[in-house]
Structure 1
Amino acid sequence: MTRRPGFLSLALAAVLTMSACSGDKGAKPAPSTATTPARSTVPFSLAVTPAANASGLPLSTEIGTAVTGGRVTGVEVLSAGKRVEGALRADGTAWVPAKPLTPSTSYTATVTATGDDGRTESRATRFTTMSRPGNRVGTGMYLFSGGTYGVAMPVVVEFVDFQVPEAERAAVARRLFVTSDPPQLGGWHWFGGNQVLFRPKEHWKPGTRLTVRAALDGHPLGNGRYGDQERAASVTIDASARSLEVDNATKQMVARKDGQVVRTMKVSLGKTSTPSSSGNLVVMDKLDKTIFDSSTYGVPATSPDGYRSEIHYAQRLTWSGEFIHAAPWSVGDQGVRNVSHGCVNVSWEDAEWVFGFTAIGDPVTIRGTERTVTAGNGWTAWDLPWEEFTQA
């Protein structure tokens, strides 16, 4: 099946409150022992990048701000006298333009900072962008504005027919921005060089609103290649938390909504020679009707293990071709034995029901089969422990 072609860590603010205790009424106040806090001993300094008069810079150029003994209080970027919109990163290390810079264009940036001692200083720099790069890599993002997704939906950014070199991945990820409302801790993980996924530490809270920006237009990806365009999406996580749990031991699939069981269905999984993959998976796509053709995976349809069949109510779980789908031909085996080529077979009635029940992004857990899902074979973000997912 053809795949359709967004690093910003989410800041969590903690508010600490302290209550004062009162003594007996009429008691004299104790002598004050408070002292005036000492001013920072770190010398105040401000430096900016790019270097003055730099030329040929990427369209994704940011204004770097290095401050000691103070903080940035303003950034102004102008081109031909017109103000360029943008915003400072949460950590204050750089100002990011709101959209790609214009090719072959001069910009002037002025950064103002205020020191802990109250002094204010400004630094200015002027630079020119490169001409529009020609060696562009197709990029994709599996989110579409206005869409509603399940609580396990990762933010998926893909690079078409290109492997981002390992040395470039951190810089590329810094151009991917995710904001959630309400805020939730999250992080990115690369599955090889052509796909990077963002997920929260726990499943998204139902009703969460996500705003995602993949700011890769003209951004260097390595090996002389650049991102093709800017992509953005504003989406919603469904108000209900749905999930599917498949157990090979019982040959059953249990559907839950907000933690409560709403339906139990018999299943037949992959036979021993073609087992289903156990793991924490995600519904990636939903197809009312499609054709399954083993020849697309190198197995001729006319061979003993081959097939070419019309399939209904198919829900993709892996890139290698494992689906939940209607299989009226295996109803007698469902709940008893495994006979599929790796898919989760259910009856026509159950397939139709579960197809209407789920959304893309819903979690699907499969347990007890002869094979564990391979990292990256599908949206396997939830199959890694949080500590492993977020490690460099």
Structure 2
Amino acid sequence: MTSTARAVGQGRCVPLLLMESRFRRRTLMLVSTGTAVLFVGTACGNSATFVGAPDLEELDSAAQITLTPENETEDAPVTTELEVSVEDGELTTLTLTSADGETVEGDWRADGSTWVPAEPLSYETTYTARAVALDKHEIPAESETSFTTMASPGNRMGASLWNSSEYEYGNAMPIMIDFPRDYSVPEDKRDDVERRLFVESDPPQMGAWHWFSGNHLEYRPKEFWVPGSVVKVRLGLGGLPLGDGLYGMQDISGTIHISSTTRHIEADNATKQLTATENGEVVKTAPISLGKDSTPSYSGTMIVMERLAETVFDTTAACGGKVEGDDCYRTDIQWAERLTWSGQFIHSAPWSVGDQGTRNVSHGCVNVAPDDAEWIYNFTRLGDPVVVKGTGVELPYGDGFTAYDMSWEEFLEGSYLPAPDAEDDGDEESGNDD
């Protein structure tokens, strides 16, 4: 489309092409409503002046912005997140600043539902959120909301991340969180807790949380961790209302590394053999003895919880502290890997070498010869999976790190949030969102 304008100093008219992009669209809109438009410039097109150009900031935008929290909200939790909805437009800018003008860092949840500050907001502080959106003509609209956070509560409660930051684990290690043993998070608050638990993995892997009790929950990806994964965790619980008048003590962050080498162990009751694989290749087999009929070994997918070069097995508490009979003993043990809280291990058992590979005589542990036990001890790491098969007795729920002893569907039943999107293999952030 062209328009005719007077070229000053040349005494003739030349066609001048209207500006492209949004300036062209707004010019066309103004012409259609009868507004006069005049170009003044040189005939050679070296310069032109647009006389009567509209001030874009004075035009009404069709975009409508809604910001939450509502303006002048008082006593907002320091875990407050910003919600923004835009009708007839697209959000381009969102900022959050404190009363002294300091900009708050943060980012969107992967599903775009809320904008999350990178750390808890300060208590008794006023914040202002400002959003800018453009309508289909790229005319801007702006909205602001201010809110003030609550005073610091005196009744705050801590939580802990079981995993050690910067430590390297095997690829079956769950992420585990504990609240104090004498406290149970109310069920109507558990979804809020999950939303504030942020997990970001590289490479991205779909995962979820599972509450094993009111004070213990675990996170795992659908499959074992991809070898070499780096997992960043943030427990964003500082200032979060937890029910019963309690609030989270503080945020906790950590970075967990998953070994690039996969090491798995399988103990098969049918063959009385242990098989160790590394990156899918068999690297060792060894004869074993599992639990006898009166004290059977559990079958299931367990995880190496603890590694002990030396320890003492002491069961005398049930016998008044006395060593007597077959079940009350105090024995020095070498090269042990804990598999359950109830006390099943892989360990050196020189006394049962003659039975290993042929019959079961242990109190539930996986007995191996001393040299084999030392090799296994040096081979395994915390977080390596150990599968025991064919004993006829299932591993009890929660007896050890049992996250992978459940199917993915069973594991999801322990979450208080919707299941993650099966088509989204991105990072999970705060309860299956990312």
**Category of TM-score, reference length = shorter chain:** 0.7 to 0.9
Aligned to 2:306: 285
- Residue in structure 1 matched with residue 53 of structure 2 by the alignment: none
Match of 1:59 in 2: 78
Q: SS of the counterpart of 1:264?
A: strand
Letter in 2 for 1:90: A
Mark the CA change 1:227 to 1:255 in structure 2 (over 3 Å): closer, same or farther.
Answer: same
Q: How many residues align?
A: 349
Aligned pairs for 1:340-355 (under 5 A) are 340-355=362-377
Tell me how far 1:257 sits from its aligned partner: 0.5
Offset of residue 248 of structure 1: 1.3
Which of these residues, 150, 158, 164, is aligned with residue 178 of structure 2? 158
Tell whether 2:346 aligns with 1:315: no
Matched, 1:50 2:72: no
* Alignment partner, residue 270 of structure 1: 291
Partner Cα separation in structure 2 for residue 178 and residue 116 of structure 1: 36
Partner of 1:389: 411
Shift of 1:263: 0.6
Q: Structure 2 vs 1, CA of residues 353 and 163 (structure 1 numbering), >3 Å: closer, same or farther? A: same
Q: Which 10-residue stretch deviates more, 318-327 or 70-79? A: 70-79
1:95 to 107, 115, 118: 115
Using the alignment, how far apart are the partners of 2:166 and 2:97 within structure 1?
33
**3-state SS in 2 of match to 1:169:** helix
8 Å CA contact retained: 1:293, 1:301: no
Alignment match, 1:14: none
1:44: how far off? Answer: 5.2
Q: Residues 121 and 338 of structure 1: is their aligned pair in 2 closer, same or farther, counting only changes over 3 Å?
A: farther
Contact 2:63 2:90 in 1 (8 A): no
* Match in the other structure for 1:84: 104
Q: Structure 1 CA distance, aligned partners of 2:133 and 2:359? A: 69
Contact 1:48 1:66 in 2 (8 A): yes
Q: 1:92 to 1:119 in 2, by over 3 A?
A: farther
Matched-pair contact (CA < 8 Å) for 1:109–1:124 = yes
Aligned partners of 1:299 and 1:134: how far apart in 2? 46
The answer to whether the Cα contact below 8 Å between 1:294 and 1:300 also exists between their aligned partners in 2 is: no
Map 1:117-128; keep pairs closer than 5 Å: 118-128=138-148
CA contact (8 A) 1:301 1:307 kept: no
Give yes or no for the alignment of 1:362 onto 2:384: yes
How far apart are the structure 1 equivalents of 2:161 and 2:110?
Answer: 23
Instruction: Give distance in 2, aligned partners of 1:294 and 1:111.
Output: 65
| Per-residue deviation, 1:366 | 0.8
Q: Which amino acid aligns with 1:278?
A: S
1:143 equivalenced with 2:156 (yes/no)? no
Question: For 1:53 and 1:307, how far apart are their aligned partners in 2?
Answer: 68
Q: Deviations over 1:331-384 (max 9, x none)?
A: 222222222222222222111111110111111111111321122222211111
Percent identity between the two aligned chains = 48
In structure 1, what residue type is equivalent to 2:337? Q
C-alpha separation in 2, matches of 1:266 and 1:380: 25
Work out whether residues 126 and 148 of structure 2, in 8 Å CA contact, stay in contact via their aligned partners in 1. Answer: yes
Partners in 2 of 1:141 and 1:165 — Cα distance?
Answer: 20
* 2-structure distance, mates of 1:198, 1:372: 22
Partners of 1:101 and 1:210 lie apart in 2 by 24
Distance 1:349 1:141, change over 3 A: same
Does structure 2 conserve the Cα–Cα contact (< 8 Å) formed by 1:72 and 1:92? no
* AA partner of residue 131 (structure 2): V
The match for 1:253 is: 274
Give 1 or 2 for the bigger CA radius of gyration: 2
RMSD: 2.2
1:251 alignment partner AA: K
Instruction: Identify if the C-alpha distance between structure 1 residues 332 and 199 changes in structure 2 by more than 3 Å, giving closer, same or farther.
Output: same
Q: 1:228 to 1:319 in 2, by over 3 A?
A: farther
Q: Matched residues in 2 for 1:334 and 1:321: separation?
A: 20
Distance 1:192 1:77 in 2: 37
Equivalent residue in structure 2 for 1:107, among 106, 116, 127: 127
Using the size of structure 2 for normalisation, the TM-score is 0.75
* Alignment pair present for 1:226 and 2:226: no
How big is the shift at 1:236?
2.0
Counterpart secondary structure, 1:312? strand
Query: Counterparts of 2:134 and 2:305 in 1: how far apart (Å)?
Result: 49
Change in CA separation of 1:55 and 1:286 when aligned onto 2, cut-off 3 Å: farther
Matched AA of 1:57: A
Rounded Cα–Cα distance in structure 1 between residues aligned with 2:95 and 2:150: 21
Counterpart residue identity of residue 143, structure 1: N
Q: Is the 8 A contact 1:65 1:92 kept in 2?
A: no
Query: What is the CA distance between 1:116 and its match in structure 2?
Result: 5.6
Indicate conservation of the 8 Å contact 2:63/2:133, yes or no: no
Partner SS state of residue 133, structure 1: coil
Following superposition, the deviation at residue 255 of structure 1 comes to 0.4
The residue aligned with 1:73 is: 92
TM-score normalized with structure 1 length = 0.82
SS of the residue aligned with 1:197? strand
1:232-251 map, 5 Å: 232-251=253-272
Kindly provide the amino acid, as one letter, of the partner of residue 46 in structure 1.
I
SS at the partner of 2:189? helix
